[in-house]
Structures are given as structure tokens and as C-alpha cells.
Amino acid sequence: MTKKNKIVLYDTTLRDGTQAEDINFSVEDKVRLVGAFDELGLDYIEGGWPGSNPRDIEFFEKMKKIKLRNSELAAFGSTRRAKVAAKDDANVKALLASGATTITVFGKSWKLHVKTALRVSLEENLAMIFDTVSYLKKKVGTVFYDAEHFFDGFKDDPEYALKSLKAAQDGGADCLVLCDTNGGVLPFEVSRVYGELRGELTVPLGIHAHNDTETAVANTLTAVKEGAVHVQGTVNGFGERCGNANLSSVIPALQLKMGRSCLSAKQMKRLRETSQFVYEMANLPRRKHQPYVGESAFAHKGGIHVSAVMKNPETYEHISPELVGNRQRVLVSDLSGRSNIIYKAKEYGLDIDSGSPEVKGLLVELKELENQGYQYEGAEASFELLLQKAFKKKEKYFTLLGFRVIDEKEADGNLPYAEATIRLEVDGVEEHTAAEGNGPVNALDKALRKALERFYPALKDVRLLDFKVRVIEGAKGTDSKVRVLVESGDGVDKWGTVGVSENVIEASWRALVDSIEYKLFKDKKTKQTKKR
């Protein structure tokens, strides 16, 4: 905290983040996440509340055997109970037993909580804060004090809220963190409160913001502008209710926009990778529209935008995406112009002339397909195959001679039975096979693979990772056209394909065929590249 212009980054994903709905990290998950945060270069990683549950106790025991390179592990807990000495308090003992060299304790700043939650006198609450901080400071190197509900408490009674901070300061706290626990404060209020505190305290100030008014990131940046040197948050903004300040946005905003040192340039490039890893550990889909690190953060769709970006990325990009480990993307849709086609062609290794008839024809076909319901934003593999076909570079791997799908249910209470048979031809050799599946699409997928694996053994590596069906024209009811999006992977890459039809089996078939053909096309392209 003494380095000039340096902002201390304090991550609470493993504690505050786990209070979010649908998030539950195992002990091993938490250990792996600590490793990722350490590599990213976060100053402090709050591991959990060791006095609150067996899982956090086990986590801190495991962490005693692990040495971190860049980060300090912090344990979190509350001030001592009323009328109990800090040295005798079970929560305080658990914090020290965790082995963490940094401890963060929270206390009450709002008289409402002192009276209704703790049910102690205002003087006893101040004593609880002072006693706990001073006792812990004698035992460990660093003690942070989280002033819970500080902004609400300051609005209610500024004098008492300030007394609560001074109690922690007098106890030896290394930083006083002002918490917007209810998430209801707006940036102008944050600015006013920090301004009124200026000159009242000698200990550095921090900020811990929740996102209930969609201003947690703005509140955090405002606090830093007003003098805070310590920021708390979670990766991807995970947290109770609407979440916490999103470090994936706070960090680049501080460093790239405000000139405040947070991470090295090399560490900053790990930001997107770390964000994605946290989503994976949480078993949640990635938020593609997330600023800075989301898949769509630097994606361009309109033809005019793409044309300008190709000339100078600064025309429609507020930073270089590579700074945060992201990349520029160009989407293809009915809004596309020639620039989109040229950009994507170059991305796929095709050197083409923007004035060629193939480009014009592809643009017309693309807009017609999108009019039918095709969407290539989540199915770039299908678009690459479409591009190869337009320039007569697409290879035909097999010819379908016909397929039949049977989905039979004998009676209520019985599960349906699905079977698919397929006939196809590869280089003049006919294959006729059948397969059962958990539903008609699964049966068809199995039959197709079974027929082709004899000719293309690499298809054994392909797995269907995601399958989405979207009704395009809902007014027609069950006769509506549907779009099927399939995500596939082979352990090395992932790719998306699309199919559209009034018949869900046919739409699925088209997406599945594209998935298979893309795998074969991709492998061939990889071999050719290696030969060069």
C-alpha cells in the first residue's frame, strides 16, 4: 500500500461471491481458484469465514501447505461477541487458527444494526470493534476492518459512523473499508461521504460495493477518485442478490482509464482467461456481453462499423482488446456488408477480392439465409463452411442417401423409444446402419457417427457440448420454424453450428452435419498447416 499510485486489489469471490444464488464451490474448486487469482496477481484473496462452516475450515487447512507467489490469503470474520473477551471468542480463535497472515473483520457502523441485530449498546459495539482489531493486530501482520453498512450508517448518524471507524483505527487496523452492504448508494453519494471524511482519519480507506443499483463499479471508481487505495470485489461480479463490484471491469478501468497501477501488463492479459475460469468453476454460462472480458466486448456487426474498424480499430474500440487478453471479432448477419465478409475470409485464411462476384453472391445468400431464420453469430463454424462453399473450396465428405427416425411411446408411464437408421455414401462406398438414442436427435446423431467413423476415425473424439432449440415464428404454434444451435468439441477446440427448418429433426440434422463436416475440415487444415 506504500507504492506510489498503487491500488490494492482485494478479491472476495471465494467468500462473498459464493453467497450468490446458483454458486457453490467445493474445497478443491476454491484451491484451484486461489491458484488462478495468484497468477493474475491480486494482492489479497479472501478465502472464506473459517468459523462459519466445515468447508472453509478444511480449505484453510489445505492452504497451509500451499505457497502463493503474488497474493496474500485473507480470512474473514466478525468482531467479538458482546461481553466476551476477544481472546476467548470462538470466531476470533477460528480466524487465528486458519493460519492466514491477513485477517479481515467486519463490524457495525449503523445504529439500526447495533440496536436490532446485535442488541447491544452503542458503546459496547465500539468496544467490540476496538478489542477485536487490537487483539488480532498483535497476532497477525495485517488486519483490515470492513465497516458494514457504512454509507447507510453515515446517512443516519455521521458522528457515530465516524466513531466506529476511529475505534478500528485506534485498534491498529491497516485499512478501513467502507461497505455499501445494501448496494443502494449512488456515485455522487460516495463522493460526498469520502469528501466529508477527508482529514478525519489517518488510516488508508478502501471500498466494498454491492451492485443492487447497478453502480458497484462506478461507486468503486468514484471512491478511488476520492482517495480510496484499497478496492474489494469479485471476479465477474458474483455476489449475494445482484452481486458485488466486478473486478473484471474495475481493474482495467483503474489501470487503463485512470492511470492507477493494479497489475503488470502481462498479468492484465490474463484477465479474460481468469474470468472464464471462474465461470467454469462455478458451472455457469459465460456472460458474453460482459465489458472488457466478454466474448462480445469487441465484436462488430454493422457493415459501417466493420469497415471503419478494419481501417483503424480505435474508431469503434475504446481500448485494444489484447490488453485484457480479449480479441476483436467481426460478426456476420443480415446487417453485414462486404467488409464483414472480407474480414472473416482473412480470419479463415482466404485472400479474396472485395469486388469479386463470389463476395457479392455470398452477401446475397447470407442475407437470404438470415431472413429464413439462420443466425451465424453463435455458429461461426457453419459460416466458415458457407464461405468455403462460396469459393468452391468446400470438400464433400459424404452423400446422404436417406435416413429414418422412429420415436415410439407405448403407454403413459413408459419412456419413449427412439431409433434412427441412415444410408450414406463415402467415395462410392455405401454404408447402412442404425442406432438407438435418448430421443430422436440423439439417435440420429449416433447413427450418423456410427456410419462415418469407419471412414473418419477422428470423429470418435467429437462430443456434443450444447444443444439449443429456438422457435422463430411463435405465431404458428407447433408448426413454427425452429433454429437449432449446436456446440461441439473434440477436447482441443469448440465450434458452433446452426440449422433451420419447420421440422426440428431436419434443423438438428443440418446443424449436426455441419458439426461433423467442420471437424473433418478443421483437421485437414491443421495437417496442411503443419506440413508448411
Residue 313 sits in the same domain as residue 209: no
- Flag whether 291 is in a domain: no
Alpha helices in 312-421 (DSSP H): 338-347, 357-372, 380-390
Distance of alpha carbon 49 from its chain centroid, rounded? Answer: 24
Residue 363 sits in the same domain as residue 408: no
Closest to 71 (Cα-Cα) out of 53, 103, 46, 104:
46
What does the angle CA 505 – CA 507 – CA 513 come to, to the nearest 5 degrees?
95
Q: Are strands 175-180 and 142-148 parallel, antiparallel or unpaired?
A: parallel
Residue 82 sits in the same domain as residue 135: yes
- The structural domain count of the chain equals 3
- Flag whether 421 is in a domain: yes
Kindly report, residue by residue over 267-313, the tens digit of the pLDDT: 999 999 999 899 888 888 889 899 999 988 998 877 778 778 878 88
Q: Which amino acid is at 168?
A: A
- Flag whether 474 is in a domain: no
pLDDT at 289: 94
Residue 441 sits in the same domain as residue 357: no
Residue 63 sits in the same domain as residue 171: yes
Residue 211 sits in the same domain as residue 147: yes
- Flag whether 493 is in a domain: no
Domain of residue 320 covers: 299-372
Residue 119 sits in the same domain as residue 213: yes
- Flag whether 513 is in a domain: no
Closest to 440 (Cα-Cα) out of 467, 461, 413, 458:
467
- Flag whether 53 is in a domain: yes
Dump the DSSP string for 12-50.
Answer: -TTTTGGGSTT----HHHHHHHHHHHHHHT-SEEEEE-T
Residue 406 sits in the same domain as residue 368: no
Dump the DSSP string for 139-193.
Answer: TSSEEEEEEETHHHHHHH-HHHHHHHHHHHHHTT-SEEEEEETT----HHHHHHH
> For residue 11, what are the β-bridge partners?
45, 233
Determine the angle formed by the axes of helices 440-452 and 504-531, rounding to 10 degrees.
30
Q: In terms of pTM, does the model score above 0.95?
A: no
Q: Are 234 and 243 in contact (CB under 8 A)?
A: yes
List CB contacts of 299: < 8 A, sequence separation 6 or more: 328, 329, 330, 331
Question: Which residue positions in the chain have pLDDT lower than 50?
Answer: 1-2, 334-335
With cell 491477513, the residue in question is 102
Q: Classify residue 125 by burial, with Cβ atoms within 10 Å: 0-12, 13-18, 19+.
A: buried
How far is it, in rounded angstroms, from Cα 397 to Cα 383? 17
Residue 63 sits in the same domain as residue 185: yes
**Domain of 430: which CATH number?**
3.30.160.740
How far is it, in rounded angstroms, from Cα 379 to Cα 514? 10
Residue 239 sits in the same domain as residue 343: no
Q: Are 206 and 250 in contact (CB under 8 A)?
A: no
- Flag whether 123 is in a domain: yes
- Flag whether 476 is in a domain: no
Residue 43 sits in the same domain as residue 103: yes
Task: Give the cell for residue 472.
Answer: 422463430
Rounded to 10 degrees, the C-alpha dihedral 329/334/339/344 comes to 50
**Domain of 125: which CATH number?**
3.20.20.70
Residue 351 sits in the same domain as residue 428: no
pLDDT at 360: 76
How far is it, in rounded angstroms, from Cα 334 to Cα 377? 11
Q: Are 317 and 328 in contact (CB under 8 A)?
A: yes
pLDDT at 52: 80
Q: Which amino acid is at 47?
A: G
Closest to 17 (Cα-Cα) out of 164, 167, 234:
234
Where would I find the beta strands (DSSP E) of 273-353?
Answer: 299-300, 329-330
pLDDT at 402: 97
